[in-house]
Chain A
Amino acid sequence: MDIVSSYLSNLMLIVGSLFLLIGAIGLIRMPDVFTRMHAASIMETAGASLIIIGLIINTGFTVVSLKLIVIMLAIFYISSVATHALARACIHDNLKPNATNKESDQ
């Protein structure tokens, strides 16, 4: 049981770190600000949550794991609102996304 949980938590930490790495690569490779936001949202949802779940499995059910759950909920709520605010500020600043479908743009 102990071995299983330690392997599971290590696996989750590795996969979460991989998502963080891919998000960082995407931040550099993507062409404009909106597509870069998509890359960043991988990091703050999948990356952060997998790392925190791995840590929860590692510590077991204690006060620390409840604190980690609160941190995860805070990251989820704050990051989605911050992404929306950033995107809206870009539109407000007349930064048009170079999208390909002009027919549904009106």
Chain B
Amino acid sequence: MADIYDFVIIGSGPSGAVLAYNLSKAGARCLMLEAGKEFTSSTFPANELSANTSLMWNGGMDTTTDASVLFLRGKTLGGGSIINQCLLDRFDDNAFDDWRGRTGVDFFSTKAMSQYYDEVESKLSLHTMEKTDWNRNAELYVEGFEKCGMDWAPLRRGQSNCGEGNDCIVCLGGCPRESKQSTLVTYIKMAREHGLKVETEFNVSQIVHGTNLVSVFGEQRGSTRQVYGRRCIVAGGALGTTHMLLKSGFKDKLPALGNNFNCHPQFMNIALFDEIVDSHKGAFQSVKSQDPRFREQGFKLENVFAGPIAIALLNPGFGLDHQRFMQKYRNMACIEVAVRDATAGKIDIDRTGRLKIKKTMADADWQRANAGLQVVEELFTTLGAREIMKSPIKIGLHLMGGCTLGKEGGSSVVNEAFQVHDHPNLFIADSSIFPSAPGINPALSIMALAQKASEHILDECGVKSERTKQPYSGVEVQI
């Protein structure tokens, strides 16, 4: 009847799952709330369209207010880890030095964080992609890089056993082989073994912070629901977490809430070749750019591709022209420019409580994008592409910030102990705390930060799962 837990964890992605595991394992009563549904390897949607609609917020069609950037974010048990490629790289000195410089927080360093990276990596099955994994798209990528004298490296991915004959592009809609190391098959599974309770399709609309209690109000399958936690961990990602806090009125006391929103804008570039490339077959992503010049210039090049619906969306136009373009799906190779954005955006809500995301590309960002696009053009030209299409649509992946971590309440939302300033029972350790865009896939680092946060939270709060029934005190009623 009374739904009260030691910790209510809102969100089931890389942050929420790691925290849920550590806290449950320590003996705390934890409840995980997820807005999406729970799928298993055998029930994941069978095609791209239903994957978008069943696994993502707003069908994968969240945009900025000017509709120039499209944001993809997971809404299913496992969160973003269900719909990402599970590329698990650590942040480098470049990324952490920038964060330390911005915040003055000492643990933002590869050295201080390495313990936490070690701990989460030990719980995951990691695989460095080998040459035998390459599909033709990857081969072209490497060929181009070598011809142009640029550095590349194999990707490290979270996967256990993808087996033979798989076309990994489908695992963007949930891995059907239980291989991709999403939180669903790793941390959530382990946390459940330690007693974690999970409630799905629970849409949180308000978080009420009190002296020693946090009330979480929402809706579940058409009914009002509320649960209570002695502490609450918000792990809904940059947009989700920031949105929940904004809707709950935290901006009054946290002026920096919603500021400093970053993403890695991605420009997909498609080249048409005479040969059949079949980029959608085999391992979806195997190699990455490792050129220090790119890092310096603020971009990287991704060896990726997309399903037919996404590709169709990327090419403006309609009718026969569009059809002819799509007919060449098998001839397409793809290199994506991922920009390490320098201009922070802002997350806000309108009067009805809906998300309002402002994220514009400033000159500095365009410089980075254009530098990358130029390299892509050079690569494809070198490879003898018949035609190169640069996408006019930017896809915002790796959504970060909005609840920046920092020392000062005026300019940040979360303190060094991952506690929301002035709200001792509320914690955040997801990508919303990022002080800037690192330019590296963030999933592993989110997990490492959540690992570190678990330590702080257990230090700070301990585990309050003892429930001893108080007898009636029998005190005389006095004046």
Q: Tell me if chain B binds chain A.
A: no
Binding site for A on B (CB under 8 A): none
